[in-house]
Amino acid sequence: MNRKKLWVVAVIGVLAALFFYFDLGKYLTLASLKSNRDVLVGFHVRHQFAMIAIFIIVYIAQTALSLPGAGILSLASGAIFGVVMGTLYVNIGATVGATLAFLVARYLFRDVIQNKFGSRLEKINRELETRGFNYLLFLRLVPLFPFFLINLGAGLTKIPLRTFFIGTMLGIIPGSFVFYNAGASLATITTMSEVASPRVLGSFALLGLFALVPVFYQKFKRKPGGA
């Protein structure tokens, strides 16, 4: 690994270490959000632009560094900005942050992975180059796959940057909307598990499967006897 890449690793490591050293995670809890909601809303009323900018920057940093707290930040967006604008601000922060994590992983490790396992990954790379949008949309919609792992894992493949950006921007809307909507009714929430019920998660999984319909259709067409 060259010196530039080592510097990138060092900066990321320092930023992540500072987060845990100063225990900033204590502010990203449901209890903290509920107790500070009035203060945050008041700050937003007095300093609207500053609040929006700070929120988006924090969300970008949290996502780019793969830190905990995305769920609480999404709840906060609904509680502070409302469902519609909260959706917009979180989408910007999450998409930009995920894209930064994707680019960093690609810059640091993709060449190593592709050089070492290129022959084994050739079929996967071809599939992602042609149908990466459908696969990414599936991964974003189905809540079984950790958000940060998708960012980092995708960066190690040859999925195009534009595909990753658009797939992330669209794919996170349904799942995140549940948090924005819940944040608008923050007082009724006692635990994070109440935000997404099994029925809602099942609906997202079904929606994710629909994203793969074009993939299944193309594979069926290529089979002997396919339409």
**Domain residue ranges of the chain, discontinuous segments joined by +:** 3-222
Please list the pLDDT of the chain residue by residue as tens digits (227 residues). Answer: 788 999 999 999 999 999 999 999 999 998 999 999 999 999 999 999 999 999 999 999 999 999 999 989 999 998 999 888 998 999 999 999 999 999 999 999 888 887 787 667 777 778 888 889 999 999 898 877 889 999 999 998 889 999 999 999 999 988 777 776 777 677 667 777 767 666 666 766 777 777 777 776 566 666 655 54
The encoded tokens of residue 162 equal: 């534009």
Nearest Cα to Cα of residue 168 among 159, 180, 156: 159
Residue that is written with structure tokens 């290529």 in the block: 222
Helix ranges, the chain (H):
3-21, 30-46, 48-64, 70-81, 83-105, 111-141, 147-155, 161-171, 173-183, 198-211, 213-222
